[in-house]
């Protein structure tokens, strides 16, 4: 069974997302919408595969943890509540799967009015890279992001199931036993990632540096509605945003945590991941020296 976890707080497209997941599945699935401090805004269709959970508000990470704990499938899939999926997505994703893989379907942009792939002139978002941490205007401290790797090596284009350095975070699939042993729970401590940000970096780095892999599977796809700041301000989505005060602190903590090899129980140092995908956009050849200078400057600022 594939257990599909959908965390949500304010989500105007939940019904369409659930309908897409149910209608396009060909195997044994269960769908676990986790209502994070939220109530049903409209009735969901009656289906024995649909198993909603209602919890007090914990934030996205806490909601994902709750859904994973309740999942009964051999595999778990997390997907945002504003996505559409391809026919047979579940069967295709699980046809070729190693226990220590985290798998990402090919991602397209969603036309939320027609609920189909939008033709916005951009290619699919297959590959992502981790940006070199730097102080970005408007951000607090150092920030590491998973960004679209449009100009990736040409030979990657012909690979149907390949390695990706990072991913965007709106959809991923994992073996539940491996996840529970090596990654559960997602860290939602306020002094660390907090309740919302950097899910993709925590998971991706723990898989890669813990001896696993992150794979993109182009044999199937999902399309994702890209929320903008105007959507938060309009009140149709949760106002949690990665540039709030907690989010800024968590971004800074995350970058320093991984760059300084603070994560316990990893097989490889962080530099191993950079070497594996080298050259990586935004990373200078002397990145270690540049980072050391950043850290000295940050430490001086904090001590003063």
pLDDT at 143: 85
pLDDT at 303: 44
- By C-alpha distance, which of 10, 38, 33, 14 is closest to 240? 10
As a residue count, the chain comes to 304
The structure tokens listed for 100 are 């220590």
Domain boundaries, the chain: 2-303
pLDDT at 157: 96
pTM, whole model, 2 decimals?
Answer: 0.93
What gap in Å lies between CA 34 and CA 105, rounded to an integer? 22
What gap in Å lies between CA 18 and CA 120, rounded to an integer? 24
CATH fold of 2-303:
Spore Coat Polysaccharide Biosynthesis Protein SpsA; Chain A (3.90.550)
Q: How far is CA 198 from CA 104, 235, 256, 260, in A?
A: 16, 23, 13, 17
- By C-alpha distance, which of 175, 3, 178 is closest to 73? 3
What gap in Å lies between CA 179 and CA 75, rounded to an integer? 9
pLDDT at 297: 75
Helix (H) or strand (E) holding 230: helix 229-234
Contact 116, 84 (CB under 8 A): yes
pLDDT at 247: 83
The structure tokens listed for 262 are 């603070």
- By C-alpha distance, which of 206, 216, 214, 225 is closest to 264? 206
Contact 194, 243 (CB under 8 A): no
What gap in Å lies between CA 85 and CA 87, rounded to an integer? 7
pLDDT at 134: 74
List, for residues 143-159, the tens digit of each pLDDT value. Answer: 899 999 999 999 999 99
pLDDT in tens, the chain (304 residues): 999 999 999 899 999 999 999 999 999 999 999 999 998 888 899 999 999 999 999 999 999 999 999 999 999 999 999 999 999 999 999 999 999 999 999 999 999 889 999 877 788 999 999 999 976 554 546 789 999 999 999 999 999 999 999 999 999 999 999 999 999 999 999 999 999 999 999 999 999 999 999 999 999 999 999 766 555 444 555 655 545 778 888 999 999 999 999 999 999 999 999 999 999 999 999 999 999 988 887 764 454 4
pLDDT at 136: 57
């Amino acid at each position: 069974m594939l257990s599909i976890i959908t965390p949500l707080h304010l989500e105007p497209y939940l019904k369409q997302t659930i309908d897409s997941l149910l209608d396009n599945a060909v195997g044994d699935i269960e769908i676990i919408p986790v209502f994070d401090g939220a109530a049903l805004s409209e009735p969901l269709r009656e289906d024995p595969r649909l198993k909603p959970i209602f919890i007090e508000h914990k934030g996205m990470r806490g909601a994902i943890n709750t859904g994973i704990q309740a999942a009964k499938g051999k595999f778990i899939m997390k997907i945002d509540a504003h996505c559409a999926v391809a026919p047979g997505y579940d069967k295709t994703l699980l046809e070729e799967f190693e226990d220590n893989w985290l798998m990402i379907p090919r991602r397209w942009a969603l036309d939320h009015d027609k609920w189909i792939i939008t033709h916005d002139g951009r290619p699919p978002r297959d590959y992502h890279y981790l940006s070199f941490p730097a102080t970005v205007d408007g951000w607090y401290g150092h920030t590491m992001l998973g960004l679209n790797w449009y100009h990736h090596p040409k030979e990657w284009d012909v690979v149907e199931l390949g390695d990706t350095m990072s991913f965007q975070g709106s959809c991923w699939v994992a073996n539940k036993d491996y996840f529970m042993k090596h990654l559960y729970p997602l860290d939602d401590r306020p002094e660390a990632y907090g309740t919302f940000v950097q899910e993709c970096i925590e998971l991706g780095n723990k898989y890669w540096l813990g001896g696993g892999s992150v794979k993109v599977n182009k044999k199937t796809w999902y399309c994702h509605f890209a929320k903008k700041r105007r959507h938060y301000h309009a009140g149709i989505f949760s106002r949690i945003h990665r540039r709030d005060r907690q989010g800024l602190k968590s971004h800074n903590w995350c970058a320093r945590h991984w760059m300084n090899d603070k994560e316990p129980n990893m097989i490889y140092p962080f530099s191993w991941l950079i070497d594996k995908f080298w050259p990586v956009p935004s990373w200078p050849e002397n990145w270690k020296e540049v980072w050391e200078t950043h850290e000295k400057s940050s430490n001086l600022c904090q001590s003063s």
